[in-house]
């Protein structure tokens, strides 16, 4: 990708011109605000995520286009409010990338990706201090992130300032400890005597520890769980389809009957 190639300039100018025309002429586009676009942007992000999970390059291209449209849209609205424009956004990004990659654009050495991530987090913290904001290591984690993604970001940011386990064996010990504490909340107790609030707390600790272990194994837990979700859906759909062919109805079969179809689906997937 040669950044000086004229095709990039022309493409960028074209989409900016179209956005100008839409804001002037289209009734729907004219009435949009940053608030009205927000939920649509979130939806488009999840659609891109689906396309990536499916490794569908054509659909990835489509969804990237939709997200790019939103970026241009927000910048256009900002320009109308004399806050900033798309050029300001791009230059700000370029300056941030240069500042946060001192091993490329400065004299800092970074031997591996872990060192790069540590530098990134420390520089972010310095930037907040420079702006006289309340600089906290975890302050930049969005509150509205899904819980699993948020746990990953929390752990990564803590690691960026050196607060982390030394090796994965220690993390697995923590997983086992949390599993034991969770089991103790319900073991040998009838349902009516279980402290569900305490059980929920311990279960959360267990999930947090498992996410930590996944990080040490270089496994993205969000991706891993989504693959399991899709695997379950595929096998359950096989169960529904094949049992229907045999004249059986969901909800009327025994668990043993359903397990037969389930096991066939597992064999076929292998």
For all residues of the chain together, what is the average pLDDT? Answer: 92
Does the pLDDT of residue 206 top 60, yes or no? yes
Res 229: pLDDT:
94
Q: Does 203 fall in a domain?
A: no
Q: Which residues of 11-24 are buried (b: 16+ CB within 10 A; e: fewer)?
A: eeeeebeebeebbe
Q: What is the pLDDT of residues 18-65, one digit of tens each?
A: 999 999 999 999 999 999 999 999 999 999 999 999 999 999 999 999
The answer to whether residue 262 sits within a structural domain is yes
* Cβ neighbour number for residue 113 with a 10 Å cutoff: 8
pLDDT at site 119: 81
Total domains in the fold of the chain: 2
69 pLDDT exceeds 90? yes
Confirm if 76 and 15 have CB atoms less than 8 A apart.
Answer: no
Mean pLDDT of 260-265: 94
Encode pLDDT of 95-122 as tens digits: 999 998 998 898 888 888 888 888 877 8
CATH number of the domain where residue 84 is located:
1.10.287.1080
Is the pLDDT at 130 greater than 90? The verdict is no
Domain that holds residue 227: 223-269
Mean pLDDT of the region 144-167: 92
**Does residue 168 lie in a domain region?**
no
Q: Which of 51, 72, 91 represents a domain boundary (last residue)?
A: 91
pLDDT value at residue 154: 95
- Output the pLDDT for position 270: 78
Check: CB of residue 257 under 8 Å from CB of residue 248.
Answer: yes
């Amino acid at each position: 990708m040669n950044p000086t190639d004229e095709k990039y300039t022309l493409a960028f100018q074209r989409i900016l011109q179209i956005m100008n025309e839409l804001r002037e002429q289209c009734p729907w586009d004219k009435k949009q605000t940053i608030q009205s676009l927000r939920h649509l942007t979130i939806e488009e992000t999840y659609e891109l995520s689906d396309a990536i999970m499916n490794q569908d390059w054509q659909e990835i291209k489509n969804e990237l286009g939709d997200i790019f449209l939103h970026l241009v849209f927000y910048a256009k609205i900002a320009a109308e409010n004399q806050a900033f424009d798309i050029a300001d956004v791009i230059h700000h990004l370029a300056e941030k990338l240069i500042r946060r990659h001192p091993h490329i654009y400065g004299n800092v050495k970074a031997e591996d990706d872990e060192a790069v991530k540590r530098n990134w987090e420390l520089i972010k913290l310095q930037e907040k201090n420079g702006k006289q904001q309340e600089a906290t290591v975890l302050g930049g984690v969005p509150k509205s992130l899904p819980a699993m993604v948020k746990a990953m970001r929390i752990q990564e940011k803590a690691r960026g300032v050196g607060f982390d386990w030394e090796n994965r064996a220690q993390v697995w010990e923590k997983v086992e400890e949390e599993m034991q504490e969770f089991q103790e909340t319900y073991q040998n107790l009838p349902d009516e005597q279980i402290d569900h609030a305490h059980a929920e707390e311990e279960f959360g600790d267990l999930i947090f520890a498992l996410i930590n272990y996944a990080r040490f194994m270089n496994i993205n837990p969000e991706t891993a769980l989504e693959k399991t979700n899709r695997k379950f859906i595929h096998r359950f759909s096989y169960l529904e389809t094949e049992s229907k062919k045999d004249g059986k109805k969901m909800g009327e079969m025994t668990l043993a009957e359903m397990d037969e179809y389930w096991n066939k689906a597992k064999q076929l997937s292998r």
